[in-house]
Structure 1
Amino acid sequence: MAYQDVFLLFWNQVTESIQEERFAKLTMAKTVGKPNLKNIFVRPIYAKDDFKVLVKLRYASKETEDVEETHSIEEAFEIVKQHLKAPFLTVLLFTTTKDVTFKINKKGAGSVTENAPTFRDITQAKTDA
């Protein structure tokens, strides 16, 4: 199955974990080549009537400063989606009930695997706002 279709199934688990307040963190890793963008982290900001995420772009070079921005989950989806395959091949969803890994192989096919949870508790992102 094409990685885009599998990614949408994976993202459904992301939104489900948010609705059920199990979302702990999302990490993009395993890059193609040696891009300056090393990781993307998405951390939750739970509020009474709103849910936002802190998206952190971490760069390999010390000359490039890391970027942190608050976004809606829909905006975070677009950010994550635009970095799939170029440069990131893996997206890890950490919830309080399971870890879900989305991978793109060399042929461009996507796969999803589940493992025991890494996080038992949710640590909200700290914002300056």
Structure 2
Amino acid sequence: MTYQDEFLIFWKQVTESVEEGTFAKLTMAKTIGKPNLRNIFVRPIYSENGFKVLLKLRYRSRETEDQTEELTLDEAFIILKSHLKTSFLTVVLFTTTKDVLFKVNKKGVGSFTENPPTFSDITQAKMDD
């Protein structure tokens, strides 16, 4: 099974956590090399108009301003998938019931592990976060 297939299984857990109301945050970390892009954060926005996420690109250099964008979960998936194995090797899903770590090894094999939850509460994202 390729890391892309494993990532789809991981992403199913992301969508389930949204449906269950337990999604707290998602973080891409462990960069490949030393790119200017340091992290990608995805935080929830629960509203009457449905679920959206605030996607934040955090950069290393102070000259590059962080970018923040409000997206649907599907739009965020496309962006995250494009950075997987090109910029980042690790994605962590934080929910109020468990944390799920997805990682791609040097051979391009994806795997995920579950850990006890880091967050007990969900903090809504705001555009100025």
Which bin holds the TM-score, normalised by the shorter protein? Answer: over 0.9
User: Which structure 2 segments of 5+ residues have no match?
Assistant: none
**RMSD value over aligned CA atoms?**
0.7
Normalised by the length of structure 1, the TM-score is 0.97
CA distance in 2, matches of 1:111, 1:79: 20
> 3-state SS of the aligned residue for 1:40?
strand
Q: Deviations over 1:1-39 (max 9, x none)?
A: 210000000000000000000000000000110000000
CA distance in 2, matches of 1:19, 1:49: 14
CA distance in 1, matches of 2:88, 2:4: 13
Q: Which residue identity is paired with 1:18? A: V
> 3-state SS of the aligned residue for 1:34?
coil
CA distance in 1, matches of 2:41, 2:3: 20
User: Which structure 1 segments of 5+ residues have no match?
Assistant: none
CA distance in 2, matches of 1:87, 1:126: 26
Equivalent residue number for residue 122 of structure 2: 122
**Divergent runs of 4+, >6 A:** none
Is 1:95 the counterpart of 2:126? The answer is: no
Taking every aligned residue pair, what percent have the same amino acid on both sides? 71
Between the two proteins, the alignment pairs up a number of residues equal to 128
Is 1:81 the counterpart of 2:81? The answer is: yes
Give the deviation of 1:126 after TM superposition. Answer: 1.2
CA distance in 2, matches of 1:126, 1:111: 32
Q: Deviations over 1:81-125 (max 9, x none)?
A: 000001100000000000000000000000010000000000010
Write out aligned runs for 1:97-112 (5 A). Answer: 97-112=97-112
